[in-house]
Amino acid sequence: MHILVTGHRGYIGSIMVPFLQRAGHTVVGYDSDLYRRCTYVDDVPNVPSIEKDIRDATVDDFADVDAVIHLAALSNDPLGNLNPDLTFDINHRGTIHLAEMARSAGVQRFLFSSSCSNYGAGGDGLLDETAPFNPVTPYGSSKVKAESDLLPLATDTFSPVLMRSATAYGVSPRLRFDIVLNNLTAWAVSSGTILIKSDGTPWRPIVHIEDITRAFLAALEAPREAVHAQAFNVARNNENYRIKELAEIVKDVVPNTEVTFAADASPDTRNYRVDASKIAATLPAFDPQWTADRGAAQLYQTFRRSALTVDDFEGPRFKRIDQITRLLDEGALDESLRFTGKPIAAR
C-alpha cells in the first residue's frame, strides 16, 4: 500500500515510518519540519517527502496514494495557548482541507490522529467512544471540531477513521519532554527529584508510541467495513493511571529518587480514564507490547546514556514552544507559522 504520512518527522511519525516500511508499505512523508532543530537521539527516517504546510495541500500531493495517516498538528497545550486561532487553523481547518484534497485525489482511507484529550474533564469513570466530549484546552477543542467535520466527508470510497490516542510516551528521535511519563522520568534522571506539577490526582490513560503505531497499522490493514467512519480509543484498559501513580512507577525504576510537588501544584481540570475494549475487539491485529514500568525503564536508560540535564528539557533546546518562538524571532516563520524562506540558523 502507498501511504502518505503527515508529520512524519515528528515525535510519533519518526517511529511510525519504519514500522510501516517493515510491514511492506511504501511511505511518502509530508511535513513542514518545524522541529528540525529538536532531534534528540538517532536520526529521523529518510523517506521521499513533501516539505509543505498541510494548509497548503493540493490534490496533486496525493497522486497514487492509497491511504493517509494524518499526524501533523500543533501538539501540546502551551503551543495551543500561544495563539488559539492558529491551533484551530492547523488542527481543525487544516485537517479538513487535507482530507478534502485527499478525497478528491481518490485516497481510500484517512486515518486521523485524534486524542483522548477530547474527553478533557471526563471524571473518574471509564469512557468509551460514545462518551461526551468535554475538552479544556484549544488543542482538545481543535481535535473535537476536526472529528465532527471529518465524518460527513465519508463516502462509499473514502473512509475517515478517528484514532483517539491516549497520552503518548516513549523514546523517539524527535522526543517530547512535555508529556507526563517522559517528563516525570526526565526530572528523575536529571535531578533525582520526580516533580509533579499538579496535585497528582488526575487520571491519564497512557500508551507507548510504538503501540500507537501498531494501532494505526491495524486500522490501515483492517477490512474497510470494520473501520469506516469509526472512532477508536488507542489505549489499553489496564494502563489508566493517576499522575501520582506514574510518579511512583518512575521512582521504582530510577534509583535514589523521591517524589515532590511543585510549589504551585494545583488540581488539573484534565482528568479522564478510557475504555479500550472496542479497539481490542474490532482490531485483533492490534497487539500492544508496552506498559508504564517498561516504558519508564526505556526512558531511564536513554536519558542516562545521553546525560540529560534539566536545562535540556526545561530550556529551549527541545521545548517545542521555545523552538517556535525562536523561529518567529529569527524571521524564519511568519505569523501564520509558515516558513518564509529565510535561511534557518543551526541550533
Confidence bin at 81 (pLDDT 50/70/90): low
Decide if pLDDT at 316 tops 90: no
Taking the C-alpha atoms of residue 148 and residue 174, their distance in angstroms, rounded to an integer, is 30
User: Rounded mean pLDDT of the chain?
Assistant: 94
Average pLDDT on 71-78 reads 80
**In the block, which residue shows the cell 482511507?**
109
- The H or E element that residue 272 is part of is strand 271-274
Supply the pLDDT for residue 198. Answer: 87
Supply the pLDDT for residue 83. Answer: 77
**CB distance 319 to 200 below 8 Å:** no
End-to-end CA distance of the chain: 36
Supply the pLDDT for residue 30. Answer: 98
Confidence bin at 76 (pLDDT 50/70/90): low
From the list 204, 199, 178, the residue with the least C-alpha distance to 119 is 204
Taking the C-alpha atoms of residue 250 and residue 263, their distance in angstroms, rounded to an integer, is 20
Confidence bin at 220 (pLDDT 50/70/90): very high
pLDDT tens, position by position, 10-32: 999 999 999 999 999 999 999 99
**CB distance 122 to 166 below 8 Å:** no
Average pLDDT on 215-238 reads 97
Average pLDDT on 159-176 reads 97
Confidence bin at 42 (pLDDT 50/70/90): confident
Supply the pLDDT for residue 212. Answer: 98
Q: How many CA atoms lie within 13 A of 115 on its CB side?
A: 29
Decide if pLDDT at 199 tops 70: yes
Taking the C-alpha atoms of residue 220 and residue 175, their distance in angstroms, rounded to an integer, is 25
Decide if pLDDT at 79 tops 70: no
Decide if pLDDT at 162 tops 80: yes
Average pLDDT on 309-337 reads 91
Decide if pLDDT at 267 tops 90: no
**CB distance 216 to 151 below 8 Å:** no
Confidence bin at 78 (pLDDT 50/70/90): low
Confidence bin at 80 (pLDDT 50/70/90): low
Work out the percent of the chain whose per-residue pLDDT is above 90. Answer: 85
Confidence bin at 344 (pLDDT 50/70/90): confident
* Helical residues (DSSP H) of the chain, grouped into ranges: 13-22, 77-82, 84-88, 95-104, 138-150, 180-191, 209-221, 224-227, 243-253, 277-282, 292-305, 310-314, 320-330
The CATH H-level (homologous superfamily) assignment of domain 2-330 is: NAD(P)-binding Rossmann-like Domain (3.40.50.720)
Q: How many CA atoms lie within 13 A of 238 on its CB side?
A: 6
Confidence bin at 75 (pLDDT 50/70/90): confident
Supply the pLDDT for residue 77. Answer: 57
Supply the pLDDT for residue 114. Answer: 98
